Amino acid sequence: MQLEQILKNRRQEKEILLMTHIVLGYPSFEVNRQVIRQMVENGVDCIEMQIPFSEPMADGPVILKANQESIAAGTTIADCLEFGAEMADTYDIPFLFMTYYNIIFKYGEEKFLQQTQDAGLKGLIIPDLPPEMGEDFFRLAEEYRIAPILIFAPTSTDERMAELNHWAKGFIYCVARRGVTGRKSEFGDDFGTYLARCRKATDLPLAVGFGIQDRADVQALKGKTDMAVIGSRTIRLVEEEGPEAVGGFIAGLR
Amino acid sequence: MQLEQILKNRRQEKEILLMTHIVLGYPSFEVNRQVIRQMVENGVDCIEMQIPFSEPMADGPVILKANQESIAAGTTIADCLEFGAEMADTYDIPFLFMTYYNIIFKYGEEKFLQQTQDAGLKGLIIPDLPPEMGEDFFRLAEEYRIAPILIFAPTSTDERMAELNHWAKGFIYCVARRGVTGRKSEFGDDFGTYLARCRKATDLPLAVGFGIQDRADVQALKGKTDMAVIGSRTIRLVEEEGPEAVGGFIAGLR
Amino acid sequence: MKRKGFFGNWGGAFIPEVLHQTFQELEQEYRKAKDDPAFWQEYSALMSNYSCRPTPLTYAGNLSKHFGGAQIYIKREDLNHTGAHKANNVMGQGLLVKRMGKKRVIAETGAGQHGMATATMAAKFGFACTIYMGEVDVRRQRPNVFWMEKMGATVVPVKDGSRTLKDAINEAFRDWVTNLDDTHYVFGTACGPAPFPEMVSWFQSIIGQEASRQIVELHGKLPARIYACVGGGSNAMGIFQGFMHDAVELVGVEAGGHGIASGLHAARLCGTDSSPGVAQGYKTMFLQNSDGQMLETHSVAAGLDYVGVSPILSDLADKKRVRFESATDKEVIAALDLTMRLEGIIPALESSHAFVQAFKEAPGLSPNDAIIINMSGRGDKDIFTIAHAFDDPSWKEFIIARAEEYKK
Amino acid sequence: MKRKGFFGNWGGAFIPEVLHQTFQELEQEYRKAKDDPAFWQEYSALMSNYSCRPTPLTYAGNLSKHFGGAQIYIKREDLNHTGAHKANNVMGQGLLVKRMGKKRVIAETGAGQHGMATATMAAKFGFACTIYMGEVDVRRQRPNVFWMEKMGATVVPVKDGSRTLKDAINEAFRDWVTNLDDTHYVFGTACGPAPFPEMVSWFQSIIGQEASRQIVELHGKLPARIYACVGGGSNAMGIFQGFMHDAVELVGVEAGGHGIASGLHAARLCGTDSSPGVAQGYKTMFLQNSDGQMLETHSVAAGLDYVGVSPILSDLADKKRVRFESATDKEVIAALDLTMRLEGIIPALESSHAFVQAFKEAPGLSPNDAIIINMSGRGDKDIFTIAHAFDDPSWKEFIIARAEEYKK
Ligand SMILES: Cc1ncc(COP(=O)(O)O)c(C=O)c1O
Ligand SMILES: Cc1ncc(COP(=O)(O)O)c(C=O)c1O
């Protein structure tokens, strides 16, 4: 089954889905394993695994540091693909890779997609690859049935959203606000208007991310979006309280 | 008697005259007194007493430092005039003041000349007052019977020497070489030619100064000039061996 | 078919979606300015009234005689206000910012020259200003930091990654995606997402426009070769554009650092450690490992110490229109020394790279030939690095004595 | 009757006899050059090819608005090669030295700018070069010392007297009387024995020639007032000469130091501590005590910290053609700060004195009036003094950290 359908099916059963994020190899693959296990056991619906890049231009300080430490510890792309395969094989939820375009470009687009498919992953988030920069890549992704997740931003016009929707598969990642990952977002009136515009622009499920911190944030999104994305918050949690703290945190969000 | 005549008379009796130099108030007027006494007692024929100035542009390091320390110790022009009077009153040789023009200009030219005359001094050496800059002053000096000693330099042309001779009184101070006071001079062939030019240019007695250090230098000048000038050498002697050393040094020069 | 924002294989705008609209507007404003002859007039009037354009093309008679080959001319970008060619680009973008009605500018800086120029422009135009600068460069270029702050700019030392230029760029982008409504990112070189490479090159083309006129006036004909150092590539593009369609050989000189073989350098177009990549919003030759992670670079010149290079230059390298060479730190210090002694001119460490290559080649050319060295900036800013490189004992004593005073 | 080398009561050549002939030759060569139109052409071609003359006259829109009075224009001598107007005089004398066939130049320097300019000229013309600099100034202006040495000059710290500019001048004269056959003394300002005051002013008049043309182009008419700082007086004479016979008020600004009443200043023409005197080869108003001994002077700006002043300015003061004012160290730092923030321009501490007085008077003038501030140099050279004056903590940290490295 493809990503869009998996999420739509899950959405039938839950008021709101949860997607979480980890940085591969940070602090270690072993901790990644423990964290993912707790996430899955506590009902997470989808997990994006970030392959670290030395220049994570769209990420804030927490994820930036995680990227750099993972690389410094020796994480390779091959390690990440292998680990992704292990997770997809172990758990019955959709897994995605998130990374910057250079990682894929340098690895070889087709080879990367082939191995992603072989690993059993469902999609890819590449924040620095707008569709007009990657027409060939988007076509290849379709061939390999890897959903290219596209991003709507509050600054996207209606026309732009329509164009993005044309290329997108799986779901649309709506960033809640301007800025990079990690800072808290406000879900006020402007946000409502923005989300309504997103909804109108696509039939794909909508995920909202950037700065979602706690139960209150998730509650506030219920009924407005299909999926909430928890990013840097769990990385900080692991840093501060260890991997064991993740399960309880996830369980308490919905 | 005026300076020229005094020197010519003395010259009748000696193969070469000696003029010495001190900086007033350095290291103290008391030491000046001791030094001058020894100079006179050992046959010096003329003494130039330098009134210190903060910018002694034509002097080398030894006299420069003496100027500055004298001023720093509080020496005033009034002190110098008074001391000059005391010396002229005490000893029967001609005394001159040597200083830079600003000292006289600032004190008041006429007042300065008047007091110099009253003090019984015979002449003035002002290295930074060429006659064309001081026509009025030279006329006044004549009025007050103070001989303005002018300087010939190796760079002076015959015309220039003639012009200087026109204004000069007392004697001509021939600087032995380019440069400032204090460094040793060589009395070679060029020097001989130069001195011959000086001799031709004036009927006044000739004094040679700048860098005369010892008996050998003085001997070398015999027959070529009327007077040898000992400058920084005695200052250094006093600094190094005390005022008592001056008598023997002077006695040994001729 | 030419893809928009691409030069051959290189360039593009690989940007987060949140910036899409901002780039659309920038592109539009840039096109409008480019099509409006009054804009260039306003720009060049500003540069001649506030800076001192046209900058001279100085005949270096002593160096020419010393090498006994080509006649050496030096294009004097050092005489610009703030001391480098960076002012050209920055003042041009300043005029665009005014047109766009934005109130704040941000910039990255390596050598500090671009930061200085941006802080200066911000003061002149009345914009708020934040400058991102790698922590390593803050240390290398402290005097520039001081002046930027005095000009009212906030200087943020960037402590991530290699703590040099590329990290400052990332950080500036992070600011921009957060504050895009009122803020313009004044990109400092002919890199980054389209339209920056083309736009920065356009503003810098004022160098080549002047030089092509000046060399004919002074030497009677076009030069045989032109030398320019290549950090991001803006001063090189600036002068090269004046001679692109002429029979003039164009030579770009990259930072050879401790030598190409040492791995400690920043040679992207003449070395063997680079490969095609996409980062910092554009596609070019990057110094990266086989996994696509960027490498640490090294140069004695902070302004050349960068992993990427102008996509336009990558294209001109492909097309063999520009030849690329490198100069080591050591060679740079020697060329700087010679230039100071023989001509009384102090090139920036960056610019000195161009001098090195010109000195290597001048003896092999005929005295009828002219060559031009683009002196992108002056070396005053580098005193801490240069005094250090010369191991000057009285400079050290001076610094130690000052420090003692400050410790009291 | 006008005495040769005198301006009213002031000037002359009070020099040791050994220099008489040298001055005759210099005077002759200068007259010949002055009467030869080709000489000025060669001079101004050199200044436009090696430096960047004409320097701009920058309209300071933000400062004008801030003060709400006269339109403020800034003559940009800071954009000269080596960063100050001193280059004008030095290059001119360099051409004379070539004509005279001498092979060595010496100079005094206070702020280091004149030394820098002379070392630069010597490198360019291939002369040997020795620079005399008061020990206090060596400490204040260390970066300039470093560059002079790199340019091949020998810098001699002068440890006599007050160890500032006047003592460096005495020491240079001592060198000159020793080496006059092959050596020319490149006097740095419009002081000293004739023909220096006139000759230096002549070379500097290029500033005023340009400015009088430029202000009419930009403002449509002559300015109401012109402000220039006065150390020895060369930059002031340089710009004033362009307006001497016009209805333009000329204002010279001296170093007020800690205040005129404090005695710690260098105000010779607007204070009460000076009187007529003769020193350093010429007659002017000197800061001296009643015995004729020169006083210690003080200014935050090394280049203004001088006991004498141009005899031509003393004469213009007598004639009330130039009005003299003073600016205190404190006022200078405030004006510098404002100028950096509002215009992105960093005047030298010396030049900032002129800014102070202009800022005091601008609000009282009409917006139809223009004023020109002569920005004699750029402030980069003053970083050690300025960072100190602003008591910048990160600068101090930086210096301390550097010192620790050097101590290892
Ligand atoms: C003086 C100078 N030259 C050259 C460069 C390199 O930049 P680019 O290659 O864009 O000219 C810099 C960068 O800071 C610089 O300051
Ligand atoms: C920048 C600058 N301005 C002014 C002066 C003062 O000299 P003057 O009065 O001769 O212009 C100096 C002297 O060093 C200087 O460096």
Identify which ligand lies nearest to the alpha carbon of C133: 1
Closest ligand to Cα D78: 2
Q: Specify whether the CB–CB gap between C49 and C231 falls below 8 A.
A: no
pLDDT, average across residues A29-34:
98
Is residue C2 very low, low, confident or very high in pLDDT (cuts 50, 70, 90)? low
Rounded CA separation A72/A74 (Å): 5
Per the prediction, chain B carries an average pLDDT of 95
B15: which 2 tokens?
């193969």
Question: What percent of chain A is helix, strand and coil (3-state, nearest 5)?
Answer: 50, 15, 35
Mutate: best of D6, D14, D25, partner B, most B CBs <10 A? D14
Share of chain C above pLDDT 90, in %: 88
- The confidence score (pLDDT) of residue C408 equals 78
d(CA A159, CA C349): 48
pLDDT at D2: 66
- The encoded tokens of residue D211 equal 């400015």
**Residue C381 designated active-site:** no
Decide if pLDDT at B210 tops 90: no
Amino acid making up residue B95: F
Q: Give the start-end residues of each E strand in chain A.
A: 17-23, 46-50, 95-98, 123-125, 147-152, 172-175, 206-209, 227-230
Contact yes or no for D179/D144 (Cβ under 8 A): no
Among C112, C110, C107, CA closest to C90: C107
Q: Tell how far the Cα of C84 is from the centroid of ligand 1, in angstroms.
A: 8
Q: Looking at the complex, does the CB of residue D49 fall below 8 Å from at least one CB of chain C?
A: yes
Q: Tell how far the Cα of D52 is from the centroid of ligand 1, in angstroms.
A: 21
Asked if the Cβ–Cβ distance from D17 to B150 is below 8 Å, we say: yes
Q: Residue with the nearest Cα to atom 1 of ligand 1?
A: C377
Nearest CA in chain C to A179: C178
Whether the CB-CB separation of B206 and B225 falls below 8 Å is answered with: yes
CB B25 within 8 A of CB B70: yes
Distance CA C131, CA C138 (A): 11
What ipTM, to 2 d.p.?
0.95
Q: In chain D, which residue's Cα lies nearest the Cα of C336?
A: D150
* Strand arrangement of the beta sheet that strand C10-11 belongs to: C6-7, C10-11, C282-287, C274-279
- Assign residue B103 a region: left if phi > 0, alpha if psi is -120 to 50, beta otherwise? alpha
Examine the residue annotation and report whether B48 is marked as an active-site residue of this protein. Answer: yes
Give the mean pLDDT of chain D: 96
- CA angle at D199 for the pair D198 and D200, rounded to the nearest 5°: 95
What's the DSSP call for residue C182? T
| pLDDT (average), residues A115-127 | 97
When pLDDT is cut at 50, 70 and 90, the band that residue B34 belongs to is very high
**Residues ≥6 apart with Cβ < 8 Å to D326:** D253, D254, D255, D256, D260, D265, D267, D270, D271, D353
Q: Could you give the CA distance from residue B71 to residue B65 in angstroms, rounded to a whole number?
A: 10
Out of C189, C200, C241, C345, mutate this one to test ligand 1's pocket (max ligand atoms within 8 Å of CB): namely C189
* pLDDT for the residue A188: 81
Mean pLDDT of all residues in B71-99? 98
Position C160 scores a pLDDT of: 87
Residue A1's pLDDT is 82
Return d(Cα D59, Cα B79) in angstroms, integer: 58
Considering only CB atoms, D173 lies closest to which of B57, B154, B160, namely: B57
Ligand 1 centre to CA of A72 (Å) is: 30
Q: Does D213 touch chain B (CB under 8 A)?
A: no
Nearest CB to D18; choose among B103, B133, B175: B175
C161 part of contact set with chain A, CB < 8 Å: yes
Flag whether pLDDT at D404 surpasses 80: yes
Q: Identify whether C320 is a catalytic site residue.
A: no
Record: contact B133-D13, CB cut-off 8 A:
yes
| Calpha distance D106→D130 (Å, rounded) | 5
Question: Is the model more confident about A29 or about A210?
Answer: A29
Neighbours of C, requiring at least 3 CB pairs below 8 Å, are: A, D
- Return the CATH architecture of domain B3-249: Alpha-Beta Barrel (3.20)
Q: Which residues of B touch D (CB under 8 A)?
A: 53-61, 64-65, 68, 71, 76-77, 100-103, 105-107, 127-130, 133, 150-157, 160, 164, 175, 178-180
Which residue stretches of C50-112 are H helix?
Answer: 61-67, 86-100
Kindly tell me if the per-residue pLDDT of C4 is higher than 70.
yes
* Cβ contact D150–C340 (<8 Å): yes
Of the residues C44, C51, C86, C171, only one is catalytic, namely: C86
Q: Do domains C6-47+85-196 and C52-83+205-388 have the same CATH topology?
A: yes
C340 contact D CB<8A: yes
Segment (H or E) for B143: helix B135-143
B73-92: average pLDDT: 98
**CATH number given to C52-83+205-388:** 3.40.50.1100
**Tens-digit pLDDT profile for residues A50-67:** 999 999 999 999 999 999
pLDDT score of B179: 83
| Contacting residues of A for C293, CB less than 8 Å apart | 53-54, 71
Cβ distance D18 to B157 less than 8 Å, yes or no, reads no
Cβ–Cβ contact C164 with A under 8 A: no
Of D131, D25, D41, D43, residue with least CA distance to D87: D43
Q: What is the pLDDT of residue B184?
A: 75
Determine the Cα–Cα distance for residues B77 and B54; give it in Å rounded to an integer.
12
The atom of ligand 2 lying closest to the CA of D230 is: 9
Q: How many angstroms does the Cα of residue C376 sit away from the middle of ligand 1? A: 7
CA D100 vs CA C231, D42, D180: distances in Å: 45, 16, 12
Does the C-beta of C234 come closer than 6 Å to ligand 1? yes
> Candidates D78, D81, D85: which one to mutate for ligand 2, based on the most atoms within 8 Å of Cβ?
D85
pLDDT one-digit tens code per residue, A159-185:
999 999 999 999 999 998 888 877 777
Q: Is the dihedral of CA A172, A177, A179, A185 positive or negative?
A: negative
Task: Show which subunits contact A, needing at least 3 CB pairs below 8 angstroms.
Answer: C
pLDDT band at D204 (very low <50, low <70, confident <90, very high): very high
In chain B, which residues have their Cβ closer than 8 Å to the Cβ of D180? 155, 178
For D54-103, where are the alpha helices, taking DSSP H only? 61-67, 86-100
- Chain A: residue whose CA lies nearest to C170: A57
Q: C77, C108, C171, C361: which is the annotated catalytic residue?
A: C108
CA distance to A149, A210, A226, per residue, from A230 (Å)? 16, 8, 13
**A178-192, C96-110, D282-296: range with lowest mean pLDDT:** A178-192
D228 lines ligand 2 (CB under 6 A): no
* Interval between CA C298 and ligand 1 midpoint (Å): 15
Question: What average pLDDT does range A129-136 have in this prediction?
Answer: 96
Return the HEC string of D185-225: ECCCCCCCCCCHHHHHHHHHHHHHHHHHHHHHHHHCCCCCE
| Contact C116 CB / ligand 1 (< 6 Å) | no
d(CA B9, CA C339): 66
What is the tens place of the pLDDT at every residue in B119-158?
999 999 999 999 999 999 999 999 999 999 999 999 999 9
N residues, chain D: 408
* Full-model pTM: 0.96
- Count CB neighbours of C408 within 10 A: 4
Provide the 8-state DSSP code for B127. Answer: T
Burial string for D81-118 (b: 16+ CB within 10 Å, else e) reads bbbbbbbbbbbbbbbbbeebebebbbbbbbbbbbbbbb
B-D contacts (CB, under 8 Å)? 113
Does D touch A (3+ CB pairs < 8 Å)?
Answer: no
Query: What pLDDT is stored for residue D208 in this prediction?
Result: 98
The sign of the torsion formed by the CA atoms of C263, C264, C266, C270 equals negative
Does pLDDT of D1 surpass 80?
no
Contacts of B127 (CB under 8 A, 6+ apart): B57, B58, B98, B100, B151, D16, D17
SS3 of residue B49 by DSSP: strand
DSSP-derived letter for residue B239 is: H
Q: How far apart are CA D336 and CA D355, in angstroms?
A: 8
Residue C310 near ligand 1, beta carbon < 6 Å: no
Cα D237 vs. chain centroid, distance in angstroms?
A: 10
CATH of D6-47+85-196, one of 3.40.50.1100, 3.40.50.12780, 3.30.70.600, 1.10.357.10: 3.40.50.1100
Model pLDDT for residues A77-107, shown as the tens digit of each residue: 999 999 999 999 999 999 999 999 999 999 9
Per-domain boundaries in chain D: 6-47+85-196, 52-83+205-388
Q: Quick check: CB of D189 below 6 Å from ligand 2?
A: yes
For the segment B163-176, what is each residue's pLDDT rounded down to a tens digit? 999 999 999 999 98
pLDDT band of residue C1 (cuts 50, 70, 90) is very low
